[in-house]
Amino acid sequence: MAAGKRRELFTILETSADTERDSASDSEESPLNLSADVKWFEIPFRKPDSDEEEELEEDEEEEEDEFKSVAAAETADTASYLAGGGCNIILVTDNGMKHEEESEDSYYASANNCSETTSNDSDIDFSDLEEEPTDFIGQFDDLGEDCTSPDFWGEPDQIISIEPFTAISGPQHALGDEADTRDYFRLLFPDSLFEHMVEQTNNYALYRQRRSGKVDAHWHPTDLREMRAYIGLNILMGINQLPDYGMYWATDIFIGNAGFKKTMTARRFEKLNQNIHLCDRESEPAQGEPGYDGLYKIRPLLDVVENTMWEAYAPNRCLTVDEGAIAVKGRFSPTQYMPSKPIKKGLKVWMLCDSKSGYCHRASIYVGRAGEDTGAVGYKVVTSLVKGLEGKHHHIFMDSLFTSVPLVQRLLQDGLYACGTTQPSRRGFPEALRLRNVGKLAQGEFFQCQRGNIVATVTRDTKVVSCLSSNCAPGIVGICPSRGRDWAVIGVPRPLPLLLYQENMRGVDLCDQLRECYQVGRPCKKWWRYFLWFYINLCIVNAYIILRESRGGAAPPGFSGKQFTQRHFRIRLAQQLIGDYQGARGMERAARKRHADSPVEYGHRLERMSERSRRCRNCTNKGLRHESVFGCKICNVHLCRGGCFSEFHK
């Protein structure tokens, strides 16, 4: 391209060490949450001095060379940080855009068969249910501005207006200094929910007996104390993990747990596992009937927990929207394959979390997209999760699955700012910033376009990344310390949108880390059970965050350790839920624990149980494997001939 044509399209930028900002002072006025070791340089936008197109080609080449030499002298102090790539801000004209150093051997000259999305740095792989429709016309008509118009994007020299965040944030409760772990857990999982679980569990046990036509002799109705103890034992199982839950009641002193045996028997725990329920199965509408709800089995839990999580903690300024995963064993229709996540296959949940603490404000279960849905999944997910935050000037950070120009426009209209990576093939993304037009970028080099508060950026970090933001001024670069191939610390220039994204996109990941440390519940054959344990686990994590922030990191009264961690919180919570409960153990053993000296007087005798041998219950409790056709019909267990009969009845 002739030099005269290039001068119309590009502006050489000035970068001076005098424009370096003090990160300490900026952190007080900007919603960045960035570390103090980032050095800032503001790159002012400079327009061409003349737009005349009919000058001699030779004169323009001389002027351009002279201008470059001056710019090179001014940037001598920061050349080591910019890594030789420079930071270019693009000017969009009717002629389009090309890279300033473009040649015939461009980035796509040897790879013109590559798609635009394969080269983009995306951490989301779209499944069939997540494919974003190519035609959104009609859904975003209320936004007022057509982002696909050629005149939509302009030069990045406009002023960014960011309203200060003044809303109330943080824990919202009236607990005093004497409050303990159970009090904080009750904020999110109230006693009314335990009472509902007790009622529906008893109803479901009767429903199963009526459906089978048999009476379960080993079942008796549960109560509130027993249900709390059952949840407490499940919490402890996440800390003291064993391959099978029957091992907690083993007689082996090295495996068995005395606290579990003291609380309830293994049979009673198994019966509670079989019958625990949250809804009335008799009134459940079938698929296709009016009022059908795919989440009917956990709807009572969702109605309570979603409100308590939202009310117990007012959202802070920076929030993260991302997907979480629930590991499952079995085949369920809502199961998703997510190769970019630590849990490759599981149930997907959209989450709105605090960027610093990891507190989860909202969680939305993803069970597949309806057939008549023609809109973008990301657009609807984000707008539903941030509902209620309108006009409070929060900063929402998202990944490339959600971020789009219509979504950023919508959030701006609602008084919310956004920042996130995006796909360059998305509707409304500047054509001039598409990878085929930008060409090959050096590390740290970037181009930008602007429309009001919305700034589109394409840059190269380890890969080419495209960003959309409404809370970042254009032309600001941060020099971040990084390690090269020889582990030497070097300065890597990154534009402000990418730095904000990297520092504030960790909220959901932090919440997942806290959840995955100590799982609650065990694998099962019913999909809705995974969501029950997920929300109980989520309430524990949120309660721990509330306690930590409410007490300023101080431990609750009675704790003598140095640091009160999540593990201590869970153990203390489980102990308080169990309390001194031992009722179920005594009631179950009363049926078979008669007179220890002479069990025969009470009808217990050793006799042939069946033609097929089965495992001896007494040997199984010892961790041994012996089989017998004999046993006790009163207790309905197989026992070895010999000492197992009398030993079992003691």
CB 614 within 8 A of CB 647: no
Q: Are strands 464-469 and 454-460 parallel, antiparallel or unpaired?
A: antiparallel
DSSP 3-state assignment of 37? coil
Distance CA 36, CA 102 (A): 37
Helix axes 224-239, 191-212, angle to 10 degrees: 100
CB 637 within 8 A of CB 648: yes
Distance CA 384, CA 394 (A): 15
DSSP 3-state assignment of 203? helix
Q: Which two tokens stand for residue 208?
A: 């199963």
- Encode 501-548 in three state secondary structure: HHHHCCHHHHHHHHHHHCCCCCCCCCHHHHHHHHHHHHHHHHHHHHHH
What are the pLDDT digits (tens) for 421-470? 999 888 889 988 988 888 888 888 889 999 999 999 999 888 899 999 99
Q: Are strands 20-21 and 335-337 parallel, antiparallel or unpaired?
A: unpaired
Angle at the Cα of 314 from the Cα atoms of 568 and 496, rounded to 5 degrees = 95
Please classify residue 170 by burial: count the beta carbons closer than 10 Å to its beta carbon, then call 0-12 exposed, 13-18 middle and 19+ buried.
middle
Ordered by start, the domain boundaries in the chain are 3-166+412-504, 181-287+515-586, 592-649
pTM for the full predicted model: 0.72
Please classify residue 214 by burial: count the beta carbons closer than 10 Å to its beta carbon, then call 0-12 exposed, 13-18 middle and 19+ buried.
exposed
Distance CA 367, CA 145 (A): 33
Q: Are strands 489-495 and 476-483 parallel, antiparallel or unpaired?
A: antiparallel
Quick one: which of 341, 346, 306 has its CA closest to 327?
346
What are the pLDDT digits (tens) for 299-356? 999 999 999 999 999 999 999 999 888 877 766 656 666 666 666 677 889 999 999 9
Helix H or strand E segment including 317: none
Query: What is the reported pLDDT for 353?
Result: 97
Distance CA 464, CA 502 (A): 15
Per-block mean pLDDT, blocks of 10 residues, the chain (650 long): 31 32 39 53 49 43 45 37 36 36 32 33 33 37 64 86 93 92 96 96 94 90 95 95 91 90 92 94 86 88 95 96 82 65 76 95 79 63 94 94 92 95 90 86 88 92 91 85 71 87 92 91 85 95 96 87 92 94 58 45 75 88 87 86 82
DSSP 3-state assignment of 387? coil
Q: Are strands 417-421 and 395-398 parallel, antiparallel or unpaired?
A: parallel
Q: Which two tokens stand for residue 130?
A: 């997540």
Q: Work out whether the CA dihedral 374, 375, 380, 382 comes out positive or negative.
A: positive
